[in-house]
Structure formats: structure tokens, C-alpha cells
Amino acid sequence: MNDRAFDEAAWCAPARYAGRVELAHASVAVTGATGFLGEYLVAALRARGAHAIAVVRNREKAERVLPRDVELRVADLADTPALTRAFHGVDAVIANAAVISFRNPALTMRTNVEGTRNVFSALAHAGVHRAVLISSSAAYPFSLAESDENTPLRPLRKLSFLGGFANAYGVSKAEAERIAWRAAENHQIALTTFRPCGITGPRDPLLLATIERFMRPLVTPFPAFTEIGVVHAGDVAGAVMLALTQPAIASGRAYNLQGHTVTLWQIADAWARAGGHAARLRVPIPVPFAMRYDDTRVRRELGWLPRSLDAILEEAVRVRSLRPE
């Protein structure tokens, strides 16, 4: 353990920071490593020479989707002792695992809130002093104004039957952040949180699948005046790597990852430019809705630059066209 190419002290409490940390030979654990974003996080760590440790519930699934040189450690978010064992000896943890269930808001709340509590309890028991939490822009309350990192997060409240489906994820992520920040303060954990919006990529099961489905007919109704943030999963992973290598800057900070603020109409245009199957006629259906989150801080402090919308869609069309029918 003494031949590491990074300053071990820089992983610990903020007061001990001393410049940049290299990831080569560092051991970094990732929860939710077999999920959509998790695979990008593992790939980013491996590309930088880190020892990636996937903390997973299902070893068989992990063996199917992750490279063979990724160490697997089995632990459920509900099992604090197993998480503690999984985090033993690591230099940092990326807390990425989460659930979003529109049919079961109680499951979303329980997994994301109690799971985060257990993860940070395990960090303290394992003596890990560096962590990155993947939160979400959904942690902000709905607003017509642009939200920055100083905007208060959603309060914890009992979910109504009608509102639970829409709000459980956002409320759970906001409460998970509060739990993480309290644990970081109490246990001297150098914490960075990221709040991405609209994570996408070639195998995105939500946004791109929806665009693909809407663009298939010759004539299709299509939302107009709807603005969202679009950020590639690889760029989210890149932001996490920037934070891990610049702890003197990123510790104690929250960062929005908006990527590009675009309309769904602009996404469909980029899809067509990239060669994706395009409807001959889109009938605009006014859906005036905007999700705007200022990510100036991460660009300025960490030097983060997300790839363009056209680059995102060109990759998506190319990869999705290779799928077996």
C-alpha cells in the first residue's frame, strides 16, 4: 500500500488537503455500479488507472455487465454491516445507488433515504474519509426560475397519494443529501455532491427511448415549449473524476450538472441530423414547462465541459442502430 502514486493525506479531512490527487492505484468503491450511470463511473475510474470496486446486490448481473478486472463486493443498501465490509480499505466511495419507482413511491423513499443513511454510517465505520454522492436536480422544488446550488432543497414532508408518484424521487434525493451532509460533518468525511439533470447516453432507457418512439410514425404529436437539461452519463462520470482529483476545491461543495438546456424539439432536430429515423411531420402540442439549473460553478471551479447535443445524439443513433431487432 506504500507505493501509491497519490498523496494519501489528501483523501482525508478537508483541513489536510494538499493540492491535486491522482487516481492511479487509488481504490474507489461505487455503489449501483451495474446501473446506467454506474457503468460509466466504473469505466472512468478504470481509464484513470484506479482500482474500481463495484458494490452490488447481484453478483451474477455484475459479472455479465462489468469488465472482469473490476473487483466485486456484494452488499445491499439495507445492510450496514455488509456495506461496512465492502468499504473496508478503500480510499473513496461514490454513492450512486438509488431507486426511482413511479408505481411505488414508498420504495423510492425508503431505498434512497435509508440507503443513504446506511451508506454513510458504513463509511464512518470503515474509516473512509472521501465520498461523492450522486444526487439529482429533482432535489430542488419546482420553480420557474433557474436554480443554483444555493437554492434550498425540497423539504421532507408526507407525500400525498396524488403527489407521491411525481415527488417521491425528488423529496428522497433532497433528504438523502441532508443525511449525507450531516454524516460528513459528524465523521470528518470530505463530501462532494452532484445534482445532474436529464442523464442520457446511447442506452438511455428514458429520454432517448421516448424520442425514438415519438419519431417512428410518419406523423406524430410532439411536445413544444418544453425545456430540459441534457447531460451525457460519461460527462457526469467525468465531473466525478474531476472532483476526486481536486479535493481541495470540491470538498464541501455541491454542483449542478445541467449540461445543455434545450427543448424537446431541439433534441428531435439533433436526432434527425444524426441520421435517426425522423417523422415527416411533427404536430406541435404546447407543453410549456422548463427545468433550468445553473451549472456555472462546476464549469468554473472544476473545469468541466460537457459534450455537445449533436455529439450526444450522433453517438446514440450510431449505437442504437446496431441493436439486434
Residue 266: Cβ within 10 Å count: 15
Put residue 66 in one of left, alpha, beta given phi > 0 → left and psi -120 to 50 → alpha.
beta
- Separation between Cα atoms, residue 298 and residue 312, nearest integer Å: 20
Degrees, nearest 5: CA angle 273-279-283: 115
Cα 40 to chain centroid, rounded: 10
pTM listed for this prediction: 0.90
User: Domain locations in the chain?
Assistant: 9-196+232-258+292-304
Phi, psi of 287 (to 5 degrees): -130, 80
The per-residue pLDDT string of the chain (325 residues; one tens digit each, 9 = 90 and over) reads 223 333 333 333 333 334 688 899 899 999 999 999 999 999 999 999 999 999 999 999 999 999 999 999 999 999 999 999 999 999 999 999 998 877 788 889 999 999 999 999 999 999 999 999 999 999 999 888 899 999 999 998 765 444 444 588 999 999 999 999 999 999 999 999 999 998 999 988 889 989 999 999 999 999 999 999 999 999 999 999 999 999 999 999 999 999 999 999 999 999 999 999 999 999 999 999 898 999 999 999 999 999 999 999 999 999 988 765 4
Q: Residue 325, Cβ neighbours under 10 Å: how many? A: 2
Q: Locate all alpha helices (DSSP H) within the chain, ordered by sequence.
A: 36-47, 59-65, 80-87, 105-109, 115-126, 161-187, 207-214, 233-245, 247-250, 264-273, 296-302, 309-320
Give exposure, 153-170, as e/b (b: 16+ Cβ within 10 Å). Answer: bbeeeebeeeebbebbbb
- Tally of CB atoms within 10 A around 110: 16
How far apart are alpha carbons 83 and 110 in whole angstroms? Answer: 17
* Backbone torsions φ then ψ of 110, nearest 5 degrees: -60, -45
DSSP string, 60-74: HHHHHHS-TTSEEEE
Q: Are strands 71-74 and 190-196 parallel, antiparallel or unpaired?
A: unpaired
Angle made by CA atoms 180, 176, 160, in degrees to the nearest 5 = 160
Q: Which CATH superfamily is domain 9-196+232-258+292-304 in?
A: NAD(P)-binding Rossmann-like Domain (3.40.50.720)
Take residue 302 and report the three cell numbers written for it. 472544476
